[in-house]
Amino acid sequence: MSLSASWVKSEGHSTGGGAPRPRPERRNLGTIPRAGGQATIERMIAHLDLDAFFAAVELHRHPELRGKPLVVGGTPAGRGVVSTASYEARKYGIRSAMSSAEALRRCPHAVFVRPDHRTYREWSQRTWDVVRSMAPVVEQVGIDEGYLVLPEGDPGEQAALVQLAVRRRVRLSCSLGVASCKVVAKVASDMRKPGGLTVVVRGGEAEFLAPLEVRRLPGVGPKAERRLAAAGVATIGDLAGLDDGRLASLLPGRVGIELRARALGIDPRPVSGEPGEAISISNEETFEHDVSDRAELHAELRRMADGLAASLRRRGLVARTVTTKLRYPDFSIATRSQTLNIGIEDAETIGDLACRLLDRALGQRPDALRLVGVGVSGLERHKQLELPLPPAHSA
């Protein structure tokens, strides 16, 4: 499992010569309500973006294409355009939105594959299910990108765990940027693609952004970039340093004021996913070799149940339905579900049910398995009541 080195500034790093800049004021970014309601805690957030997403999915479907320059898009014979290109193809200067004909000119031995959006949506959903199972608040903003409030603990380590989970459970590579606010996290996730993780410490936002080209700041489009370039504003730091008069002449109105604030690493937009908005949380594992040992399968399910229980507790949720999924070596899938009268959140009960459901399915078809998974659904807010486990009925 390879993780690229993090770019982590040490805490308390000085902001360079002269008087230290004032710390940006506290913001409500990455702020999630504490159980009970009133008090809030401030958390670091992450922006996650999958690497060469459509191409990465196609490489799973056509492993024989690995290592070759791959273009996903319309046909170069017609008026097709490039949706995305593998990193191998990007070495030839192939980019999203370029005509496929131009892509073929740049790399005559590139392989072209037509996009299959339905499949990409499925892979996207699998990815975001994994992220939602790990983070208390998740706001997906595109098919392959979104923001998450990081769980408690060291932000870089927590982000690395999310990255690892996406790689292991979905088998996709992603890059993450960790910061105190959305705009900085988004810029950071793009710093070390593919497979990168970049952490910007709180207080280091403006210094991190300053040397970067101004077009890398989200919100600066080609038109604004041209205007700024003509006035000698080349970097995000140049934009951050504009006085009110120059800013108003170059980028009049609220747009200018907002972009200058962003250039300073100030962005008040919250991560706006509601906790518990997910309708299900699941976890699954594809084995290196098919597994038939019942004890090993049970141990795997219990490990997943632990993770699901932790995720439910973190989000203040309980689940009423447990589902076990099995995939056989011939890729056929079986699922078994059980629904309870009240919600549960503890690892042991989820694990017990998951194992029982597995046994039931294996009773009908006792083969080795390629994959097992556990999901919980029927999610609802936890009620502060200790109730015994009710009699269960099957669904």
Please give the residue ranges that form the binding site for ligand DCP (CB under 6 A): 49-54, 83-84, 96-97, 143-145, 193-194
Query: Which residue in this structure is represented by tokens 């006792």?
Result: 366
Q: Which is nearer to Mg ion, 103 or 350 (CB)?
A: 103
Which partner, ligand DCP, Mg ion, none, binds residue 97 by CB below 5 to 8 Å per kind?
ligand DCP
User: Which option in ligand DCP, Mg ion, none does residue 323 bind, with CB closer than 5 to 8 A by kind?
Assistant: none
Q: If contact means CB under 5 to 8 A according to the sort of partner, which of ligand DCP, Mg ion, none does residue 194 touch?
A: ligand DCP
Q: Which partner from the list ligand DCP, Mg ion, none does 170 bind, CB cut-off 5 to 8 Å by kind?
A: none
In sequence order, the 6+-apart residues with CB closer than 8 A to the CB of 177 are 46, 47, 184, 185, 186, 187, 188, 189, 190, 191, 197, 198, 199, 200
Q: Is 267 in the site for Mg ion (CB under 5 A)?
A: no
Q: How far is the CB of 166 from ligand DCP (least distance, A)?
A: 13
Task: Give one word for 328, left, alpha or beta, with left for phi > 0 and alpha for psi -120 to 50.
Answer: beta
**Mode of pairing for the β-strands spanning 31-33 and 137-140:** unpaired
DSSP-derived pairing of the beta strands 111-113 and 70-73: parallel
**Could you give phi then psi for residue 13, rounded to 5 degrees?**
-55, 135
Amino acid identity, residue 181?
A: C
Query: Are the C-beta atoms of residues 113 and 72 closer than 8 Å to each other?
Result: yes
Shortest distance in whole angstroms from residue 198 CB to ligand DCP? 14
The verdict on whether 145 is a catalytic residue reads yes
Choose, from 42, 102, 145, 258, the residue flagged as catalytic: 145
Instruction: Pick between residue 144 and residue 267 the one whose CB is nearest to Mg ion.
Output: 144
Query: For residues 9 and 95, which CB has a smaller minimum distance to ligand DCP in the complex?
Result: 95
Return the range that interacts with Mg ion (CB under 5 A); candidates 51-59, 65-73, 74-82, 342-350: 51-59
3-state secondary structure at position 188: helix
Closer CB to ligand DCP, residue 96 or residue 339? 96
- Taking the least distance from each CB to ligand DCP, the nearer of 65 and 392 is 65
Q: Which is nearer to Mg ion, 178 or 319 (CB)?
A: 178
Among 49, 207, 267, 345, binds Mg ion (CB under 5 A): 49
* Count of chain residues binding Mg ion (CB under 5 A): 4
Q: Which does 47 bind (CB under 5 to 8 A by kind): Mg ion, ligand DCP, none?
A: none
Which of 44, 48, 50, 281 is in the footprint of Mg ion by CB under 5 A? 50
Rounded to a whole number of angstroms, the minimum distance from the CB of residue 189 to Mg ion is 9
Give the range of 137-145, 220-228, 340-348, 386-394 binding Mg ion by CB under 5 A.
137-145
- Compute the distance between CA of residue 334 and CA of residue 358 in angstroms, rounded to an integer: 10
| Minimal distance, residue 26 CB to ligand DCP, in Å | 31
- Mark the segment that binds Mg ion (CB under 5 A) among 44-52, 65-73, 282-290, 329-337: 44-52
Rounded to an integer, what distance in angstroms lies between the CA atom of residue 52 and that of residue 76? 20
DSSP result, 146-185: EEEEPPSS-HHHHHHHHHHHIIIII---EEEEEESSHHHH
What values do phi and psi take at 28, rounded to 5? -95, 20
Q: Using alpha carbons, select from 107, 99, 53, 58 the residue that is nearest to residue 79.
A: 99
Kindly tell me which of 144 and 345 has the beta carbon lying closer to Mg ion.
Answer: 144
- Indicate the DSSP class of residue 215: G
**Contact of residue 225 among Mg ion, ligand DCP, none (CB under 5-8 Å per partner type):** none
The entry of Mg ion, ligand DCP, none near residue 83 (CB within 5 to 8 angstroms by kind) is ligand DCP
Considering only CA atoms, which of 86, 62, 61 is closest in space to residue 73? 86
Looking at the Cβ atoms of 49 and 284, the one nearer to ligand DCP is: 49
Amino acid at 48: L
Query: Which string of x and - marks every residue 53-82 that binds Mg ion (by CB under 5 A)?
Result: x-----------------------------
Q: What sign has the CA pseudo-torsion 84, 88, 94, 99? A: negative
Within 138-167, the residues that bind Mg ion by CB under 5 A are: 144
SS3 82: strand
Please tell me the distance from the alpha carbon of residue 383 to that of residue 49, in angstroms, as a whole number.
Answer: 35
Catalytic machinery residues: 145
Binding-site ranges for Mg ion (CB under 5 A): 49-50, 53, 144
